[in-house]
């Protein structure tokens, strides 16, 4: 017991005999030594090993049958500590790292008569345990030295130096490693060179995994049931991540090409809810096995020419799609989720353009444009409502009426940047414009078209239908542009009925 590494914390090898005895009294008995006791036990150290003397001191405490009040208090304190320590080690299977903290709150008057009382003492004692940092090695890492405590611990598996070449290319995480994070929210940081796949180490109570690679990233954490969050940074090449009803969040950064993320939990058992991808130059696929029915948040940042496809089980599901600097120079960026029933799109950070949105099951689509968004196409055949908010321009270039065949309402009243619709709205769609300059195309509308406060442009291809009206709003330079065929209709130009359905335009042509 004395000749162990943990003992050096309390009994450094440079201590004198008196100091060894004093430390025992302080740490074990909770008091300073009396003169007689100090003299006696120091004398014992003159002829016996420190380990033997400490064992004798413990025996004396346990077997004490006298009446000295201080000695009896120390005996009770020792017995209470022993009871809590045994419960921590045997029943709770606690780590050696936090053993001292577990019994730090024990006193001679502590109630240790029940398991609940002992557990409460341990909880209080370990509540303020500081986070620890563990450094993995090229050898097999396991045992008490790689067991965390109750703090938010970190396990670093960085590449080590190759002693033969001097190059840092030696992996320090292997399939033979056994890592236990203990309580708290614990993190494994794994760095790899050459795109080595995340080794299938035994990971217990590790909630966060960060993988950094100078090439590709392959991370299969299906057997690490405690993992809730996985972050991967790939300098190049593909990223392939597999979870199984454990991770709720996956983040990919760097300059990866393609990204594939699958939650392989059975339908109803998967948990992947949040995915964020930054910097990819290839396609993103999420849930290729079609069991991903929990994805509610997808963020694409600085994605260039990479399509994103979410394949999920059918069912009621809302998806929040965030676009930040997503572009497709020379190509459209096709974003597909054909099973989300509600779609909320946020443009933020930097403008996004050439977006081809495929959302066949979405009945409502909401767009919050904090930065400009340009949609090259949209296929949302079930959508009945399109709502646009934010302070930036939203443009639809080539969407067709057939692609929005169920649409009944477009409402941009909460937008201050403008809305531009590149193709003609169906005649049964009600439109409410933004407070900026809007541009819409209309046919024989039978609904109320209310432009906003900006200087708007309405292109009209047919006489307004029964029940239809078009109000230009409060702008000062609103334009009604008639198509060539409509403008050539002499009877229309002389019709007071037509003019009665149109109001507020400063310019007709």
Last residue of a domain, one of 162, 190, 206: 206
What average pLDDT score do residues 152-175 get?
A: 90
- Within this chain, do residues 16 and 105 fall inside the same structural domain, yes or no? yes
Would 9 be classed as within a structural domain? Answer: yes
Which pLDDT tens digit goes with each residue over 288-324?
Answer: 665 567 899 999 999 998 999 998 888 899 999 999 9
The label of the residue with tokens 């353009």 reads: 353
Whether pLDDT at 13 is above 90: no
Residue 103: how many other CB atoms lie within 10 Å: 22
Range of the domain at 156: 131-206
| Dihedral over Cα of 109, 112, 118, 120: its sign | negative
CB of 352 within 8 A of CB of 327?
yes
What average pLDDT score do residues 263-292 get?
A: 84
Tell me what pLDDT residue 9 has: 67
Would 357 be classed as within a structural domain? Answer: no
Would 439 be classed as within a structural domain? Answer: no
- Within this chain, do residues 9 and 120 fall inside the same structural domain, yes or no? yes
State the pLDDT confidence band at 508, using cuts at 50, 70 and 90.
Answer: confident
Contacts of 97 (CB under 8 A, 6+ apart): 132, 144, 147, 148, 149, 182
Q: How far apart are CA 248 and CA 388, in angstroms?
A: 29
Residue 495 tokens read as 């019709």
Beta strands in 416-464 (DSSP E): 419-424, 430-432, 439-442, 448-450, 457-460
State the pLDDT confidence band at 162, using cuts at 50, 70 and 90.
Answer: confident
Would 492 be classed as within a structural domain? Answer: no
Q: What is the pTM of this model?
A: 0.75
State the pLDDT confidence band at 214, using cuts at 50, 70 and 90.
Answer: confident
What average pLDDT score do residues 170-192 get?
A: 93
- Within this chain, do residues 66 and 164 fall inside the same structural domain, yes or no? no
Burial of residue 476, with CB atoms counted within 10 A of its CB: 0-12 exposed, 13-18 middle, 19 or more buried: exposed
Tell me what pLDDT residue 464 has: 92
Beta strands in 255-383 (DSSP E): 259-263, 274-278, 284-286, 297-301, 308-310, 318-324, 333-337, 342-347, 352-358, 364-369, 373-379
State the pLDDT confidence band at 334, using cuts at 50, 70 and 90.
Answer: very high
Per the prediction, the chain carries an average pLDDT of: 91
- Within this chain, do residues 45 and 28 fall inside the same structural domain, yes or no? yes
- Within this chain, do residues 114 and 31 fall inside the same structural domain, yes or no? yes
Q: How far apart are CA 331 and CA 304, in angstroms?
A: 9
Would 202 be classed as within a structural domain? Answer: yes
Last residue of a domain, one of 83, 102, 125: 125
Tell me what pLDDT residue 225 has: 92
Q: How far apart are CA 508 and CA 258, in angstroms?
A: 51
Q: Strand pairing partners for 154?
A: 133, 187
Tell me what pLDDT residue 289 has: 65
Which pLDDT tens digit goes with each residue over 105-134?
Answer: 899 999 999 999 999 999 888 776 678 889
Q: How far apart are CA 284 and CA 298, in angstroms?
A: 11
Which pLDDT tens digit goes with each residue over 418-461?
Answer: 999 998 999 999 999 999 999 999 999 999 999 999 999 999 99
Percent over 70 (pLDDT), the chain: 94
Q: What share of the chain is helix, strand, coil (3-state, %, to 5)?
A: 20, 30, 50
Whether pLDDT at 491 is above 60: no
- Within this chain, do residues 73 and 140 fall inside the same structural domain, yes or no? no
Q: How far apart are CA 489 and CA 484, in angstroms?
A: 9
- Within this chain, do residues 148 and 120 fall inside the same structural domain, yes or no? no
Tell me what pLDDT residue 350 has: 97
Would 322 be classed as within a structural domain? Answer: no
Q: How far apart are CA 113 and CA 379, in angstroms?
A: 68
Tell me what pLDDT residue 293 has: 75
Tell me what pLDDT residue 206 has: 96
- Within this chain, do residues 98 and 48 fall inside the same structural domain, yes or no? yes
Tell me what pLDDT residue 313 has: 82
Q: How far apart are CA 378 and CA 236, in angstroms?
A: 31
Percent over 90 (pLDDT), the chain: 71
Q: How far apart are CA 451 and CA 470, in angstroms?
A: 8
Contacts of 479 (CB under 8 A, 6+ apart): 455, 456, 457, 458, 505, 506, 507, 508, 509
- Within this chain, do residues 22 and 119 fall inside the same structural domain, yes or no? yes
Q: Could you give the number of structural domains in the chain? A: 2
Tell me what pLDDT residue 7 has: 74
Smallest CA-to-CA distance from 362 within 330, 387, 331 is with 387
Tell me what pLDDT residue 492 has: 62
Last residue of a domain, one of 143, 174, 206: 206
- Within this chain, do residues 83 and 180 fall inside the same structural domain, yes or no? no
Q: How far apart are CA 467 and CA 176, in angstroms?
A: 75
* 106 SS3 class: coil
Helices (H), 64-137: 69-86, 99-102, 115-126
Q: Which of 161-170, 223-232, 381-390 is predicted with the least confidence, judged by mean pLDDT? A: 161-170
What average pLDDT score do residues 378-387 get?
A: 96
State the pLDDT confidence band at 12, using cuts at 50, 70 and 90.
Answer: confident
Would 393 be classed as within a structural domain? Answer: no
Which pLDDT tens digit goes with each residue over 16-46?
Answer: 899 999 999 998 999 999 999 999 999 999 9
Contacts of 493 (CB under 8 A, 6+ apart): 487
- Within this chain, do residues 22 and 101 fall inside the same structural domain, yes or no? yes
Whether pLDDT at 496 is above 60: no
State the pLDDT confidence band at 497, using cuts at 50, 70 and 90.
Answer: low
Tell me what pLDDT residue 498 has: 75
Question: Terminal CA-to-CA distance of the chain, rounded, Å?
Answer: 98
The angle that helices 69-86 and 50-63 make with each other, rounded to 10 degrees, is: 100
Phi, psi (degrees; rounded to nearest 5) at 491 = -65, -30
Q: How far apart are CA 380 and CA 387, in angstroms?
A: 13
More confident residue, 246 or 412: 412
Tell me what pLDDT residue 487 has: 77
Would 326 be classed as within a structural domain? Answer: no
Tell me what pLDDT residue 486 has: 84
- Within this chain, do residues 135 and 31 fall inside the same structural domain, yes or no? no
Tell me what pLDDT residue 232 has: 95
């Amino acid at each position: 017991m004395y000749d162990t590494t943990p003992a050096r914390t309390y009994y450094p090898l440079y201590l004198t005999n008196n100091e060894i005895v004093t430390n025992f009294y302080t740490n074990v008995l909770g008091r300073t030594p009396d003169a007689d006791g100090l003299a006696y036990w120091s004398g014992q150290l003159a002829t016996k090993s420190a380990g033997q003397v400490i064992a004798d001191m413990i025996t004396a405490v346990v077997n004490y049958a006298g009446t000295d009040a201080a000695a009896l208090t120390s005996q009770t304190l020792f017995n209470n500590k022993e009871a809590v320590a045994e419960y921590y080690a045997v029943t709770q299977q606690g780590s050696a790292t936090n053993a001292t903290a577990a019994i730090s709150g024990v006193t001679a008057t502590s109630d240790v008569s029940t398991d609940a009382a002992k557990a409460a003492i341990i909880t209080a004692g370990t509540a303020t345990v500081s986070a620890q940092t563990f450094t993995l090695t090229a050898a097999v890492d396991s045992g008490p030295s790689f067991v965390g405590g109750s703090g938010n611990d970190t396990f670093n598996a960085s590449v080590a130096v190759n002693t033969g070449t001097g190059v840092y290319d030696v992996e320090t995480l292997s399939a033979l490693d056994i890592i236990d994070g203990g309580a708290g929210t614990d993190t494994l940081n794994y760095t790899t060179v050459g795109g080595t796949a995340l080794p299938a180490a035994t990971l217990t109570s590790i909630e966060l995994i960060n993988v950094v690679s100078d090439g590709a990233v392959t991370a299969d954490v299906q057997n690490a049931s405690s993992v809730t969050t996985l972050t991967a940074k790939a300098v190049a090449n593909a990223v392939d991540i597999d979870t199984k009803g454990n991770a709720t969040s996956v983040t990919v950064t760097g300059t990866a090409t393609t990204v594939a993320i699958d939650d392989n939990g059975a339908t109803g058992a998967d948990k992947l809810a949040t995915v964020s991808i930054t910097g990819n130059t290839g396609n993103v696929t999420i849930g290729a096995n079609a069991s991903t029915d929990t994805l509610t948040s997808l963020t694409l940042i600085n994605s260039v020419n990479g399509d994103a496809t979410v394949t999920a089980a059918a069912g009621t599901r809302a998806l929040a799609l965030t676009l930040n600097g997503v572009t497709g120079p020379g190509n459209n960026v096709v974003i597909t989720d054909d099973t989300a029933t509600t779609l909320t799109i946020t443009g933020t950070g930097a403008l996004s353009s050439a977006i081809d949105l495929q959302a066949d099951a979405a009945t409502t689509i909401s767009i919050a444009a904090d930065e400009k968004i340009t949609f090259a196409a949209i296929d949302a055949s079930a959508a009945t409502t399109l709502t646009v908010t934010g302070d930036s321009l939203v443009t639809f270039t080539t969407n067709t009426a057939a692609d929005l065949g169920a649409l009944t309402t477009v409402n941009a009243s909460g937008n201050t940047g403008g809305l531009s619709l590149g193709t003609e709205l169906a005649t049964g769609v009600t439109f409410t414009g933004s407070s900026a300059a809007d541009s819409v195309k209309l046919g024989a509308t039978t609904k109320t078209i209310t432009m906003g406060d900006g200087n708007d442009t309405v292109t009209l291809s047919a006489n307004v239908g029964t029940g239809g009206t078009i109000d230009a709003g409060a702008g000062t330079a609103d334009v009604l542009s008639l198509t060539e065929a409509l403008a050539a209709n002499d009877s229309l130009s002389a019709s007071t009925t037509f003019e009665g359905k149109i109001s507020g335009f400063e310019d007709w042509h």
